[in-house]
Structure 1
């Protein structure tokens, strides 16, 4: 349940070619520390470029975040993406809504995120493939540091050639 299907160093390393090979037609994207740093209101250029590449390849995209709508809405609007806020991951309600809105079969969908106990566990419970990406930057708050310390036992190794 805690093991991701695939592991990448960062979201930008996921390629349309990889997704097509795995018959993945849609991605459910976590927001904080996956597409941008935690609580950053501005999407980095690297995420914008990656999203453009995915769209050009016909990959459907949607944000599924545990964060509240006031955080997710302006970010998603800048990206031109639909979203589910307050996804309550690892519960599967947010993933269920997002998959339905994408109009895809769950066998053709994967979830991308940086947390084992929310993103990976939630997508595995839903029965969709999970793509773990290492966090963009370490969180500094005590609750996040505590959760990351517990996650360490379940963390996959960084992909070969990935920046440490």
Structure 2
């Protein structure tokens, strides 16, 4: 796969099946982006399904480390609230933060997946260090102003691909 191509694409982080999509693929360590991946950018809330998923990941024995370019105090507060280690100011897509996070977890690159909502930071950075990457559709459309151009590029890369776990039609929604 290319530098900009995620290994998988999901509608939400909670759509990643811990047993099948992580442990079943030999992925015991998860590097997890924060903003618009597990925390809404508009109100800074972590949705309940994400919290439940994080509990499930830990129950099944996988390790999670937050990896964020954000450097504000609120990301450290979130890490404390969730009981997770964090590498902030990660400078994604540069490899430094990825390597620091894997060392913190005692992980190998081959057993680690980066999960995030941005191709140009999360996916590219993971590919640069040789790890798997799972792209997540952003929780909300609201984003930082400088991200508009990057989101345009990302839409071109993703194209008409439908994220795993997304409803495909009105009739499939009615069946759920």
* TM-score normalized with structure 2 length: 0.87
Within-5 A mapping of 1:1-164: 1-18=3-20, 19-38=22-41, 40-155=43-158, 157-159=161-163, 162-163=166-167
Aligned residues: 164
Calculate the aligned-residue CA RMSD, in Å: 1.6
| Residues in 2 aligned to 1:16 and 1:28: alpha-carbon distance in whole angstroms | 14
Moved over 6 A (4+): none
Q: Deviations over 1:63-87 (max 9, x none)?
A: 0000004131001111000000001
Partner secondary structure for residue 142 of structure 1: coil
Aligned 8 A contact 1:90 1:122 in 2: yes
Gaps spanning 5+ residues in structure 1: where? none
| Residues in 2 aligned to 1:53 and 1:23: alpha-carbon distance in whole angstroms | 16
* TM-score normalized with structure 1 length: 0.93
Gaps spanning 5+ residues in structure 2: where? 169-176
Partner secondary structure for residue 77 of structure 1: helix
